[in-house]
Structure 1
């Protein structure tokens, strides 16, 4: 599945969002790769597991009390029970995973197989498939990107855009090229993270914006702001 076969040439636009006549470039062969969402999803899922930090519960969890089974003959379960009297805790079951304050079933261990190996051929296939999908506007918009006003995908501009060194110039360029709507989508999606990540320098989350691929690093990382990924 590839919709790029019918478009062998890609137009080039200047910094004023004007098409440069007679300077079309051939569509790279990677955009003609088969689009396989199942392979991309599988490889992304496996590779993302390699960033996990090993964790486990304490080996003393659920066992930090004194409890012993009452045995048989009392018409109660033979689960270990807390000793003593005069408190609600005495006589309660302990240690078992079905007990309040007991251990979990099969406590997690730090020697779990955290890493997942993915064949290099499969990783390259998934990368080529993901890049090819960026040339299909229907698939790009299905992921939430606002690209209905952009002339074509992939959008190729001339080398003068690399000479920009001001954020103001970048904003003007993105407005002319009709990509500012996707930036606004990222701004509106900013929200606080749920959970303890707010206390761990991961306070805010947001959607993904456009990706800019450049040839030479001439200040692109400072010109384009947080809503855009550059590489």
Structure 2
């Protein structure tokens, strides 16, 4: 028998109840979810490689045996000057790389269509399991129930302060604050490459149609908002860990079964 859940209005109070789609009864498959997320990540990797002449633009050559020195290619010049330094060879400063990355390498991690669809369905079902959501670190103490379904009026909000007030009434605001406080500086050289900060993920909002809600809510820390047609395993299970705290609109819920039917 399908489980019944409430639909909440903009005042945070239940309006009516509906039956959950059968997709929420999908078995829990963390192995498939992980495969789907890794496949999605691999598809975004940009091929890269080195210039084939890198480290080779030099006049250096080996002086051969009989000189009492190693047969390392050396820059031409006076025997007693700094020009005796090695070059060209992989172990020398400025020399070529022994095994450089090649742009023709295939980074794609392929996954079957049915497996990917099954992974998305399983990740959707995991959003309705409180133990998995809590295990991810989300704050669910103030939630009235799971999954959280809101009326389509939510999609017409176009002011950020109104979304904040609604999230407070719904009980998901503590999780957004958790993401805000969890922001930290990344260790290592990654912080010099356009990714200085690491930010936790908070709630995922799935909508059926954008009537202004995307601009109104996208500035909240850790929050992702997506149309149900663009839903994927990586949004539902960041870091390959299922059980993300998710808020669904009524229209998004009605489209689920047709979009991701097995």
CA RMSD after TM alignment: 2.5
Q: Which runs of 5+ in 1 are unaligned?
A: none
Q: Which residue of the partner structure matches residue 208 of structure 2?
A: 215
* Worse-superposed segment, 72-81 or 129-138: 72-81
Residue 65 of structure 2 is aligned with which of 56, 69, 72?
Answer: 72
Structure 2: 5+ residue stretches without partners: 227-262
How many residue pairs were aligned? 220
User: Aligned equivalents of 2:82 and 2:191: distance in 1?
Assistant: 33
Structure with the greater alpha carbon radius of gyration: 1
Distance between the aligned counterparts of 1:204 and 1:226, measured in 2? 16
Partner residue, 1:108: 101
* Aligned equivalents of 2:135, 2:31: Cα separation in 1: 16
Tell me the residue number matched to 1:16: 11
Q: How does 1:1-231 map to 2 (within 5 A)?
A: 8-20=3-15, 23-74=16-67, 76-85=69-78, 86-90=80-84, 92-191=85-184, 194-198=190-194, 205-227=198-220, 228-231=223-226
Determine which structure has greater relative contact order: mean sequence separation of CA pairs < 8 Å that are 6+ residues apart, divided by chain length.
2
How far does residue 174 in structure 1 lie from its aligned partner after superposition? 0.8
Q: Quick check: 70-79 or 45-54, which moved more?
A: 70-79
- TM-score using structure 1 length: 0.82
How far the C-alpha of 1:203 sits from its partner, in A, is 6.3
The 8 Å contact of residues 47 and 118 in structure 1, kept in 2 or not, is answered as no
